[in-house]
Structure 1
Amino acid sequence: MATLYRKYRPQNFKEVVNQNHIKITLENEIKTGKTAHAYLFCGPRGVGKTTMARVIVKTINCLKRKAADSDPCNECEICKDITAGRSLDIIEMDAASHTGVENVRENIIASARVAPSRCKYKVFIIDEAHMLSISAFNALLKIIEEPPAYVMFILCTTEVHKVPTTIISRCQRFDFKRIGVNDIVKKLNYIIKNEGIKIDRSILESIARQSGGHMRDAESLLGQIVAIGGKEITQEEADLVIPRNDLNEVINFIDFLIKKDSASCIKLINKLMDEGMDLKMFLNDLIEILRKIMLTKINPALTQKFGLELGEGLEIKVGEISSGLNLEHLLVVIERFMKARNEIKGSFITQLPVELAAAELCMGVSAPRANPGNNEIRNSKLPARQALAGGEIRNNVPVVNQPIQASSPAGPTAISAANSGKVDQDAVLAKWSEVLIRIKQHNHSLSFILRVCKPIGISNNELTIAFKYKFHKNRVDERAIKDIIEKVLREVYGAPITISAIIDENLEIADNNMPPGNGAVQNDRQAKPAEDGKQENKGQDNLVDSLLKTFGGKVVDSK
């Protein structure tokens, strides 16, 4: 028994679904008698490449075709022989199983030298042509470039990038496209009418969407469903073959989001889970429809070219709900559900990421975005009691109020500078230790870099910082790092301050650049008893003696 896609394979140009850009060109060539000697048909699987090749073969060899007609009669002996695959002059070769150069020489080159027995043209249809070896392609070059007048080549491939350019340049190339949902539904309707089958249009649309634009896949799916359900197909029987994706529920879900009805969103999600629907499939459909609405908002022409075809009924519903979404909100919704889809796998409650996303979007809560220059803020754990015990919160980050020494002579200068909106050099130096402490809360490594720099001047609230080494300057010049420093400067001095970094190879860093706490450690080290120093010297002498004994030599000088 023939499968549906073989039984209903198109037998003329009119029956070929879509591909109008190719059909018009080929029909005009046939009418005017200006057909090429070699064609290259490339495109996705199951869109009509081999079918189109067979239609061309029948048309150019048809005995009853009139000069002004471009379709075969399908009644003469030649047409019947070609349709049944009995014609000796039409050689259809599978390149996947005849890849070698010897097969090309025996089956093509040698056969091309013999004139056709009954047909006007001897035609070679090479399917999956990209599977031929390089040697086989090279053997074909001459015969494809200058074949006998009665020979025609038609190469079909799904991977044209594997075909050598020397072959492509000798052929007329036609690129086949995927077939739209509406066109596939029309063809499936034609089939079920001829077969006497009752099936709902929504099921046919589901088949068309599931096929991904490949007609042969759609006809195969329909054949599977018919084998299960017989002459009357129900949705339950179709769900056994097609993974369930109820787009009506997806549209209802979007409608609940627009109405800010988080309870209905969560109920719908759990209902679908109870019914056994794959949540990832649901999110795939949701993101596809949201993308379609986004393309429509940006430019309606984009929807026709790149958007998912949903079928007539669903297109109307999507158009009705899309008016309640603006583009900015739409981008947030798409991004949030893409994140939820990736989180499903690691969630011990499968539907929880989707429920959280729906609740956040309905309540107007958006997840905080990561700041690329602020990783330490996310990873650090600031004690909450510090913020409560006299600290303050700035930009969602607890900041501890550092004690300012009352003995600082430049304190009044810093306060007056902050009030005036301009900061001078004395004010910068007065609070530079506080700057280093606050920088450490944002970026621990950055605080060490700023300890080896020196503020050398400020003009029009642009602070110039000198570094001794270039890699320190390059680090500070990074946009994310510069943003952190300028933010802290604005917090400390109460005025917007920008920074510029320079290199000074003669720079000497004073000890007062170190923040409070480090000085005490340094003083402790300097205050060690002299006896400790003597013990260290004694230990070093013993080490030198052991090295001399092991490797030989003598001490020339000791400093």
Structure 2
Amino acid sequence: MAYQVLARKWRPQSFDDVLGQQAVTRTLTNALKSGRIAHAFVFAGPRGCGKTTTARVLAKALNCINGPTPTPCGECDACVEIAAGRDMDVLEIDAATHTGVDNVREVIIEGLSIAPVRNKYKVFLIDEVHMLSSSSFNALLKSIEEPPPHVVFMMATTELQKIPDTVLSRSQVYEFRTIAAKTVAERLRHIAAEEGIEIAEAGLLLLARAGEGSMRDSLSAFDQVRAFAGDAIHVEDVVTVLGLVGRDLVLDMLDAVASEDAPAAFMLVERAIERGYDLRLLCRELARATRDLLLLSVDRARADDPEIASEGERDRLKHLADLSSREDLLRAFDLLTHAEQELRTSDQPRYNMEMALLRLMHLRKLVPLTELL
């Protein structure tokens, strides 16, 4: 059997499995329980957060042999075929390849009057619906507003603002959010245990952060690292494969700034270049770590938050937070944010990076005006 990537193998099969979207899944679950099912849905949100997956689960919930039900069995013919993407009554349409009005008329409008072959509902799942042309949207308006009782429209999009208001007003709109790194890391930990993969907690957190709130992106990155390192994955493997900046290097730089050790800062920039790091990414990670230190200075309890620090970093971050005032950290964050912008257009990014670190050391010598008065 051909290898199936983790993102597909572990795609959620029920509303309970869809993580980080409780507002959406709870609303849909209650609607199914009460029998108040809309005829058109728009699922909008960032990539990889569960829009198409939720639409498939909803299609199963509507067409399950026990349905409509908020807990589809996953074993009947309808559930199995919908999960596999081959159910005759659930038409998944890629709007990017069916942009024109003629495609919409042929694939969707002309098929509305045809009853489902086996299921209770005929579902039209239109992915990336914002790619449809204006004439295609206009052709769909009447069908979306008053479809036959056996038809349900589900539309997924990453760009809600591109969908005409006339379509949105005829549909129930559900907005998906990015998924917290902690939630993604917990899911990756579960999958690693089921797949027999050994990986440190810090490695899981790096993969979760690399996805930037997208479960699919994190799973794809996990697959890539697994291909490189096998079933025993070290943190260094994750850093190497994904081109991430090692957290130790970032904290070493902040330590050099706090101790005003310019030679060490220059040496660390050289080390980053030797490792092939993108200096813009390094600057971004420095800003991120500075933000973490600021959070710790405001609320010490956040040290236990895995999104702020892994278990091995907590003591060091607490120590660095003690070395700087909140004013220092605020100024450092602003400087690093501007430095990242400068690095984008610089012909000599190394020089900009070195000067940014020196400016950070100089800013620490500034005395608050209240102390001078």
Give TM class, smaller chain: 0.7 to 0.9
Give 1:425's aligned residue.
none
Give 1:136's aligned residue.
136
- State how far apart, in whole Å, the 1-side matches of 2:341 and 2:145 are: 52
**CA RMSD for the aligned pairs?**
2.9
Partner secondary structure for residue 257 of structure 2:
helix
Give 1:247 deviation, angstroms. 1.7
Give 1:275 deviation, angstroms. 3.5
- State how far apart, in whole Å, the 1-side matches of 2:336 and 2:132 are: 45
Check if 1:97 corresponds to 2:79: no
Give 2:307's aligned residue.
309
Give 2:324's aligned residue.
325
**1:166-221 CA-partner distances (Å, limit 9, x unpaired):** 00000000111111111111222222222212222222222221221111111111
Give 1:112's aligned residue.
112
- State how far apart, in whole Å, the 1-side matches of 2:336 and 2:119 are: 60
Partner secondary structure for residue 188 of structure 2:
helix
Give 2:42's aligned residue.
40
Give 1:332 deviation, angstroms. 2.5
Change (3 A) 1:137 1:340: closer
Give 2:16's aligned residue.
14
Give 1:10 deviation, angstroms. 0.6
Aligned length: 360
**1:12-51 CA-partner distances (Å, limit 9, x unpaired):** 0111121111111111111111111110001111111000
| Matched letter for residue 189 of structure 1 | R
Give 1:278's aligned residue.
278
Give 2:59's aligned residue.
57
Give 1:126's aligned residue.
126
Give 1:73 deviation, angstroms. 0.8
Check if 1:29 corresponds to 2:31: yes
| Matched letter for residue 60 of structure 2 | K
Give 1:335's aligned residue.
334
**1:292-340 CA-partner distances (Å, limit 9, x unpaired):** 444676799xx9xxx9934543566545532433232223223333454
- State how far apart, in whole Å, the 1-side matches of 2:123 and 2:363 are: 66
Partner secondary structure for residue 202 of structure 2:
helix
Change (3 A) 1:360 1:152: closer
User: Contact between 2:199 and 2:234, CA under 8 Å: does it hold in 1?
Assistant: yes
Give 1:6 deviation, angstroms. 1.0
Give 2:189's aligned residue.
189
Give 1:271 deviation, angstroms. 3.3
- State how far apart, in whole Å, the 1-side matches of 2:38 and 2:238 are: 45
User: Contact between 1:3 and 1:223, CA under 8 Å: does it hold in 2?
Assistant: yes
- State how far apart, in whole Å, the 1-side matches of 2:142 and 2:220 are: 40
**1:89-119 CA-partner distances (Å, limit 9, x unpaired):** 1111111111122222222122111121211
Change (3 A) 1:264 1:11: same
- Any gaps of 5 or more consecutive residues in structure 1? 368-559
Q: Which has the higher contact order (CA 8 A, sep 6+)?
A: 2
User: Contact between 2:293 and 2:320, CA under 8 Å: does it hold in 1?
Assistant: no
TM-score normalised over the length of structure 2: 0.86
Change (3 A) 1:164 1:360: closer
User: Contact between 2:207 and 2:238, CA under 8 Å: does it hold in 1?
Assistant: no
Change (3 A) 1:346 1:75: closer
Q: What are the within-5 Å matches in structure 2 for residues 497-512 of structure 1?
A: none
Give 1:419's aligned residue.
none
| Matched letter for residue 203 of structure 2 | I
User: Contact between 2:182 and 2:306, CA under 8 Å: does it hold in 1?
Assistant: no
- State how far apart, in whole Å, the 2-side matches of 1:122 and 1:352 are: 61
Give 2:370's aligned residue.
none
Check if 1:202 corresponds to 2:213: no
- State how far apart, in whole Å, the 1-side matches of 2:91 and 2:359 are: 63
Partner secondary structure for residue 65 of structure 2:
coil
Partner secondary structure for residue 58 of structure 1:
helix
Give 2:369's aligned residue.
none
Give 2:291's aligned residue.
291
User: Contact between 2:99 and 2:131, CA under 8 Å: does it hold in 1?
Assistant: yes
- State how far apart, in whole Å, the 2-side matches of 1:147 and 1:188 are: 41
**1:369-425 CA-partner distances (Å, limit 9, x unpaired):** xxxxxxxxxxxxxxxxxxxxxxxxxxxxxxxxxxxxxxxxxxxxxxxxxxxxxxxxx
User: Contact between 1:182 and 1:311, CA under 8 Å: does it hold in 2?
Assistant: no
Q: What are the within-5 Å matches in structure 2 for residues 74-473 of structure 1?
A: 74-294=74-294, 309-310=307-308, 312-313=310-311, 314=313, 317-341=316-340, 346=346, 351-362=350-361
- State how far apart, in whole Å, the 2-side matches of 1:308 and 1:196 are: 23
User: Contact between 2:205 and 2:307, CA under 8 Å: does it hold in 1?
Assistant: no
- State how far apart, in whole Å, the 2-side matches of 1:319 and 1:36 are: 51
- State how far apart, in whole Å, the 1-side matches of 2:75 and 2:334 are: 58
Change (3 A) 1:43 1:342: closer
Change (3 A) 1:52 1:311: farther
Larger radius of gyration: 1
**1:279-302 CA-partner distances (Å, limit 9, x unpaired):** 3322110012223444676799xx
- State how far apart, in whole Å, the 1-side matches of 2:155 and 2:213 are: 22
**1:76-100 CA-partner distances (Å, limit 9, x unpaired):** 1221121222321111111111112
User: Contact between 1:181 and 1:310, CA under 8 Å: does it hold in 2?
Assistant: no
Change (3 A) 1:317 1:72: farther
Partner secondary structure for residue 91 of structure 1:
strand
Give 1:261 deviation, angstroms. 3.7
Partner secondary structure for residue 174 of structure 1:
strand
Change (3 A) 1:107 1:269: same
- State how far apart, in whole Å, the 2-side matches of 1:43 and 1:252 are: 37
- State how far apart, in whole Å, the 1-side matches of 2:244 and 2:237 are: 11
Change (3 A) 1:297 1:311: closer
User: Contact between 1:290 and 1:330, CA under 8 Å: does it hold in 2?
Assistant: yes
Is the deviation greater in 338-347 or in 6-15? 338-347
TM-score normalised over the length of structure 1: 0.59
Is the deviation greater in 277-286 or in 114-123? 277-286
User: Contact between 2:18 and 2:54, CA under 8 Å: does it hold in 1?
Assistant: yes
Identity value in percent: 38
User: Contact between 2:201 and 2:310, CA under 8 Å: does it hold in 1?
Assistant: no
Change (3 A) 1:164 1:308: farther
Give 1:278 deviation, angstroms. 3.1
| Matched letter for residue 29 of structure 2 | E
